[in-house]
């Protein structure tokens, strides 16, 4: 089954947000920051869905869209145009091509999920059955480690750089657990952990990640509702145990 999606988006922040959302549904996402890059990517990847920034080029990405439609393997796949500002409708340069729909570049989670579900109904149904963990960590390497650990436990991971970042990405998703880096604020746990209550149910288990934790820090963290504490550098086995414990408790409730 094809599970690849090409995201052709010139803005790095927007491209990263789309990629992380799509990866949270267990898709393989290939990014392209220019029309030229997208055409090269198409030569090595057979996607089941393509998202194209309407401002990726002066012709709204027409050369890339044409390349997609010219290949027998991708001739019928959905193409979604990402618009910015108040723009809507299909750009004139793309009027002669078969376009599935248009979305705002700052697309809502629910709208993106609907588009992806139409393209991959079985894959999305299977993905949404798995528990979703919210991972908040400013370090990209750490986020990848935690995402891999969650996948080994047959969980999904929505990775974010910060709590503010997470607020734009959760939508109506149900969060099974939160893994949050304390960012050096071990002695001020409330400052870091209190805002997390806005991201999920107040009883959602939290796994705190910290560089240094003493007994007083531990007391504060558990008083704030933290379920487990991981010390950096994170050991994969220890992370797996923490995730399994959260899932086991949830299964018993």
pLDDT tens readout for residues 32-75: 999 999 999 998 889 999 999 999 999 989 999 999 999 999 99
pLDDT tens readout for residues 138-173: 888 889 989 999 999 999 999 998 888 888 898 888
Tokens 């933290």 belong to which residue? Answer: 226
In this prediction, residue 236 carries a pLDDT of 85
Domain edges within the chain: 4-126, 130-252
Sign of CA dihedral 163, 197, 200, 150: positive
Classify each residue of 50-84 as buried b or exposed e, where b means 16 or more C-beta atoms within 10 Å of its C-beta: bbbbbbbbeebbbbbbebbeeeeebeebbbbbbbe
pLDDT tens readout for residues 110-122: 999 999 999 999 9
Q: How far apart are CA 99 and CA 65, in angstroms?
A: 9
CATH number assigned to the domain covering 4-126: 3.40.50.2300
130-252 has which fold? Rossmann fold (3.40.50)
Tokens 């820090």 belong to which residue? Answer: 217
CA–chain centroid gap for 191, Å, is 25
What residues contact 144, with CB distance under 8 A and at least 6 apart?
159
In this prediction, residue 216 carries a pLDDT of 78
Confidence of residue 187 (pLDDT cuts 50, 70, 90): low
How many residues in the chain?
253
> In the predicted model, what is the mean pLDDT of residues 196-219?
80
Q: How far apart are CA 207 and CA 172, in angstroms?
A: 21
């Amino acid at each position: 089954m094809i599970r690849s999606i090409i995201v052709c988006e010139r803005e790095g922040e927007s491209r990263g947000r789309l990629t992380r959302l799509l990866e949270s549904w267990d898709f393989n996402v290939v990014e392209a920051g220019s029309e030229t890059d997208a055409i090269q990517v198409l030569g090595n990847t057979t996607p089941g869905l393509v998202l194209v920034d309407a401002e990726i080029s002066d012709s709204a990405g027409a050369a890339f869209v044409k390349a997609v439609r010219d290949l027998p393997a991708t001739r019928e796949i959905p193409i979604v145009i990402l618009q910015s500002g108040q723009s809507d409708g299909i750009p004139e340069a793309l009027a002669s091509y078969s376009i599935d729909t248009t979305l705002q570049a700052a697309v809502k989670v629910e709208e993106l999920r609907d588009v992806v579900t139409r393209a991959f109904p079985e894959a999305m149904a299977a993905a949404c059955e798995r528990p979703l963990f919210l991972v908040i960590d400013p370090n990209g390497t750490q986020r990848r480690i935690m995402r891999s650990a969650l996948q080994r436990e047959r969980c999904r991971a929505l990775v974010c750089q910060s709590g503010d970042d997470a607020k734009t990405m959760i939508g109506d998703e149900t969060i099974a657990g939160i893994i949050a880096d304390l960012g050096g604020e071990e002695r001020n746990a409330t400052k870091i952990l209190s805002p997390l209550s806005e991201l999920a149910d107040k009883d959602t288990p939290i796994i705190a990640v910290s560089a240094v934790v003493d007994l007083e820090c531990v007391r504060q963290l558990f008083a704030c509702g933290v379920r487990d504490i991981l010390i950096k550098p994170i050991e994969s086995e220890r992370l797996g145990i923490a995730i399994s414990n959260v899932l086991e408790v949830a299964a018993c409730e």
